[in-house]
């Protein structure tokens, strides 16, 4: 593992570790709804489970990177780090898109806001942008958003905001 990749893995691991902790804390502010009447499964269960999975995955990135640094005796100096401008810009745009998604979630509903968010984030992250990739991205975003809506609202009985399109 190269030094640059190790540093990136550490940053990514720390970022997603913090994100998973914030996400888990945020799940306690979700209104509890028990569609099946029991205390085991509520509207908080899946988000809490996802935050734990994100925490474990971020540790699976962070721990090998830290072990690699220890083995190679690599010293990371924060003042001399050079960040790739493109990566920083993409990270900032992704954060802004997430804030916009959260803002539009209650207004447009789950399906529309998720389609917009997924389309924008995937288009930003794909290396080659052409009409075929963008069309596939939009179709993929529509399918995934609708599938998740059906699974959560119809199968699990959880209430998701329907927004301006009634489902």
Residue pLDDT, tens place only, 145-160:
889 888 888 888 777 7
What pLDDT shows up at residue 26?
86
pLDDT in tens, 32-84: 766 666 666 777 778 888 888 889 988 888 888 888 877 765 444 443 444 56
Q: Which of 2-11, 116-125, 134-143 has the lowest mean pLDDT?
A: 2-11
- At residue 118, what are phi and psi to the nearest 5 degrees? -60, -45
Kindly indicate the confidence band of residue 139, based on its pLDDT and cuts at 50, 70 and 90.
Answer: very high
| Mean pLDDT for the chain overall | 80
Which residues, other chains included, contact 116 with Cβ-Cβ below 8 Å and sequence gap of 6+? 101, 104, 108
H-helix or E-strand spanning residue 49: helix 45-72
What pLDDT shows up at residue 40?
66
What pLDDT shows up at residue 140?
93
pLDDT in tens, 99-110: 888 888 878 888
- Cα 148 to Cα 110: distance, rounded to the nearest angstrom: 9
Residue 27 has pLDDT above 70, yes or no: yes
Better-scored residue on pLDDT, 83 or 163 = 163
CB 140 within 8 A of CB 118: yes
pLDDT in tens, 5-20: 788 888 888 898 998 8
Q: Which of 82, 60, 47 is nearest to 16 (CA)?
A: 60
């Amino acid at each position: 593992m190269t030094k640059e990749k190790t540093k990136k893995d550490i940053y990514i691991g720390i970022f997603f570790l913090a994100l998973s902790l914030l996400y888990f804390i945020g799940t306690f502010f979700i209104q509890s709804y028990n569609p099946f009447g029991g205390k085991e499964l509520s509207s908080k269960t899946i988000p809490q489970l996802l935050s734990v999975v994100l925490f474990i995955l971020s540790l699976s990135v962070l721990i090998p990177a830290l072990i690699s640094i220890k083995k190679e005796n690599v010293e990371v100096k924060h003042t001399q780090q050079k960040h790739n401008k493109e990566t920083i810009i993409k990270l900032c745009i992704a954060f802004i898109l997430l804030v916009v998604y959260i803002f539009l979630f209650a207004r447009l509903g789950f399906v529309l806001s998720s389609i917009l968010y997924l389309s924008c984030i995937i288009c930003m992250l794909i290396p080659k942008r052409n009409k075929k990739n963008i069309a596939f991205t939009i179709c993929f975003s529509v399918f995934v958003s609708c599938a998740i809506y059906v699974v959560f609202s119809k199968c699990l009985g959880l209430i998701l905001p329907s927004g301006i399109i009634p489902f």
